[in-house]
Amino acid sequence: MKNILKKPFIRKSLIAFGAFVVFVVVMNYIVMPWYVSEPEFKVPKVLGMKESDAVNVLKDSNLTPVISDTTFDERFPRGSIIYQRPNAGETVKKGRNIYLFISGGEPVVSVPSLKGKSIIDARFALERIGLNLGRIDSITSDYPQNVIFDQQFAVGTPLKKGDSVGVSLSIGQSIGSITVPNLIGKSLADAEKILADSTLKVGKINYQQSVSLLPNTVLDQYPSQGNKANPGDAIDLFVTKPADMNNQNPNMGN
């Protein structure tokens, strides 16, 4: 018998058997009685509640809320509970984890780049992600005819599905009788006077930061110097931003 016990395999087998017996005894006489004696609670219904309200309700019911994921769902307001697990009405032990899924509200998509595209291509690019082509402004420009050169929203702007994006479509250069003057380096006031003297007017003013130039200095213009324009046409200007406009919208127009 002693020789048998000296064999490694037999000794390991006896140790494993002994450990198993101890495990069974502990489970039967300690763990299971304790688990069975734990109080049970019914899971309350928190669907449709705000996240904070749902968390408080579950904590008051001696349960543990766990925020699991956020999912876009237009049927539920943003921040409300759209799914819970375990379901409402199920009986669970005290402290049980209740997994909550939060609504992200209506799905949003990012505005794609439409510049350089035709109207057909732009419409397809927008409809493919759930947006619509909005107002089309046909404007003279240096861009080829029937090419989009500007869009209402910047690339990457989040919009709800079904929203529309307007574009500016080039009709090519117009053949006017007035030569656009050079306004770069002029003050905004001087630029307005020069344009008025040429029967032109200031169009959209795009303000930009500058640390080297005085405020209200013209940095660039569109159309550029030398282009032809008709009386009353507007010239867009890029102008340095005054100090008191730091918190204003950088894109302003007359």
Which residue would you say has higher pLDDT here, 73 or 250?
73
Per CATH, 40-103 and 179-253 having the same topology is answered yes
Give yes or no for residue 33 having a pLDDT over 80. Answer: no
Q: What is the spatial distance between Cα 238 and Cα 235, in angstroms, rounded to a whole number?
A: 10
Question: Which CATH fold topology does 179-253 show?
Answer: Trypsin Inhibitor V; Chain A (3.30.10)
* CA torsion, ordered 42, 48, 49, 51, to nearest 10 deg: 100
CATH-assigned architecture of domain 40-103: 2-Layer Sandwich (3.30)
Which sequence spans correspond to the domains of the chain?
A: 40-103, 109-170, 179-253
pLDDT at residue 249, rounded to an integer: 46
Q: State the average pLDDT for the chain.
A: 83
Give yes or no for residue 140 having a pLDDT over 70. Answer: yes
Asked whether the beta carbons of 213 and 186 are under 8 A apart, the reply is no
Asked whether the beta carbons of 170 and 139 are under 8 A apart, the reply is yes
Give yes or no for residue 38 having a pLDDT over 80. Answer: no
The CATH class of 109-170 is alpha beta
Give yes or no for residue 148 having a pLDDT over 90. Answer: yes
User: How would residue 15 be classed by pLDDT, with cut points 50, 70 and 90?
Assistant: low
Per DSSP, the residues of 196-217 read HHTT-EEEEEEEE--SSS-TTB
